């Protein structure tokens, strides 16, 4: 069997077009939408991701605002930059680009974001709403995974889904979103202490890998006919590498996402959708 390739280009393009329409409708109501990014330091991969987010925002009619701090910025300086974005009326949503340099406290930074401007959906209040399946900006990568599966009509209802990785950013929120009654998947979350990772992975109808460990998952991790979603993106000398050995797994799976060009574009589209959501919520006085 050779797997169907589930690229992110088409579903992300459709979602971005939808966002552009929502932004145009907001403009008719006198609301201009502004998405800011706060980048601390000079990590080249983060700078590339921020650049992609700005370009996509502008294409959707969203004003793009770029704020940067030096790699040695103190936590107080980061706090002050976040406070300024919280106050800025031109900024209707913003993100703090992760990862932050090691000396900074990520949880403290995320908690300081006004939840009404939380474009990544990572503030504890929005994560809480997500747990309850209430309307809120959703973490962009997990919602991008779900939207891609929806687009390609990969049903999750009643399926055994194994997620490799339990980070706050990807694995854990995705596991909760999949286990909601509205999705009804049976979810297993694997991590570095999981015994027999290959055996657990082989039990999956749908295997989602978000470990940041290039080439971790080979053909022996995949049941024949499973759907495989590779969230991993690690910068290597040979370019961006996923967590899945694509050449092996493509022979076992029924469908697989590529790296690059799979979940990456979905994450950006999800961020723009959150930005539109937050502007609409502010317009409608929801919060
Ligand atoms: P993270 O915070 O480092 O978390 C990685 C998770 O994977 C942890 O739970 C870790 O287990 C687990 N893990 C790592 N190596 C493992 C192994 N050998 N066996 C089993 N579990 C293992 O990373 P993240 O932020 O979730 O990101 C994961 C990957 O997704 C990275 O490559 C990142 O670049 C990529 N990513 C891509 C997008 C996109 O848009 N495409 C967006 C976000 C992230 P422990 O908890 O036990 O340490």
Per-residue pLDDT tens for 220-260?
A: 999 999 999 999 999 899 889 999 999 999 999 999 999 99
* 143 closest CA partner among 126, 158, 160: 126
- How far is 144 from 150, CA to CA, in rounded Å? 10
Q: Once rounded to an integer, what is the mean pLDDT over residues 82-90?
A: 98
- Counting the structural domains of the chain, the total is 2
159 is catalytic: no
120 is catalytic: yes
- How far is 272 from 5, CA to CA, in rounded Å? 24
CA distances in angstroms from 249 to 5, 50, 210, 221, 245, listed in the order given: 11, 31, 16, 8, 6
Q: Has residue 99 been placed in a domain? A: yes
Q: Has residue 1 been placed in a domain? A: no
Cα–chain-centroid distance for residue 228? 17
Q: Has residue 2 been placed in a domain? A: no
Q: Do 87 and 252 form a contact (C-beta atoms < 8 A)?
A: no
Write the pLDDT tens digit of every residue in 42-52.
998 899 999 99
User: 79: domain CATH number?
Assistant: 3.40.50.10860
- How far is 79 from 249, CA to CA, in rounded Å? 44
| 79: containing domain | 30-114
pLDDT greater than 90 at residue 287: no
Q: Once rounded to an integer, what is the mean pLDDT over residues 77-97?
A: 98
Is residue 233 packed enough to be buried (19+ CB in 10 Å), middle (13-18) or exposed (0-12)? buried
253 and 188 in a common domain:
yes
258 and 147 in a common domain:
yes
Closest residue by Cα to atom 24, ligand 1, is 167
Q: Has residue 236 been placed in a domain? A: yes
The band of 286, judged by pLDDT with boundaries at 50, 70 and 90, is: confident
Q: Extract the runs of DSSP E, i.e. beta strands, from 53-211.
A: 63-69, 93-96, 160-164, 186-190, 206-209
58 and 155 in a common domain:
no
* Ligand 1 pocket member 57 (CB < 6 A): no
Q: Once rounded to an integer, what is the mean pLDDT over residues 167-178?
A: 97
Q: Which of 169, 208, 211 to mutate to test the pocket of ligand 1 (most atoms within 8 A of CB)?
A: 211
Which residues, listed in sequence order, are joined to residue 39 by a DSSP beta bridge? 68
Residue 23: its pLDDT value, please? Answer: 98
- The Cβ of residue 167 has, within 10 Å, a number of other Cβ atoms equal to 16
Q: Which of 148, 192, 265 to mutate to test the pocket of ligand 1 (most atoms within 8 A of CB)?
A: 192
* Ligand 1 pocket member 164 (CB < 6 A): yes
């Amino acid at each position: 069997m050779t797997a169907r390739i589930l690229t992110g280009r088409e579903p992300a393009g459709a979602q971005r077009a939808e966002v552009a329409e929502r932004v145009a409708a907001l403009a008719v109501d006198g609301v201009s939408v502004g998405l800011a990014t706060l980048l601390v330091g000079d990590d080249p991969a983060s700078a590339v991701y921020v650049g992609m987010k700005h370009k996509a925002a502008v294409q959707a009619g969203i004003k793009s605002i770029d704020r940067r701090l030096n790699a040695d910025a103190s936590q107080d300086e980061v706090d002050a930059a976040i406070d300024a974005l919280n106050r800025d009326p031109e900024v209707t949503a913003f993100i703090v680009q992760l990862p932050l340099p090691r000396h900074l406290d990520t949880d403290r930074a995320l908690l300081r974001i006004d939840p009404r401007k939380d474009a990544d959906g990572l503030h504890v209040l929005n994560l809480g709403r997500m747990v309850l399946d209430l309307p809120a900006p959703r973490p962009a990568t997990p919602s991008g995974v779900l939207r891609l599966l929806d687009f390609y009509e990969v049903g999750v209802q009643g399926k055994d889904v194994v997620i490799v990785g339990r980070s706050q950013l990807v694995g854990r929120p995705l596991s909760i979103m999949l286990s909601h009654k509205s999705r009804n998947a049976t979810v297993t979350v694997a991590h570095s202490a999981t015994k027999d990772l290959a055996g657990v992975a082989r039990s999956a109808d749908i295997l989602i890998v978000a470990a940041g460990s290039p080439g971790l998952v080979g053909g022996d991790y995949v049941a024949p006919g499973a759907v495989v979603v590779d969230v991993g993106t690690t910068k290597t000398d040979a370019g961006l590498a996923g967590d899945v050995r694509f050449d092996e797994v493509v022979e076992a799976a029924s469908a697989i996402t590529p790296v690059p060009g799979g979940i990456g574009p979905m994450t950006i589209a999800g961020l723009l959708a959150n930005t539109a959501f937050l502007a609409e919520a502010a317009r409608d006085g929801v919060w």
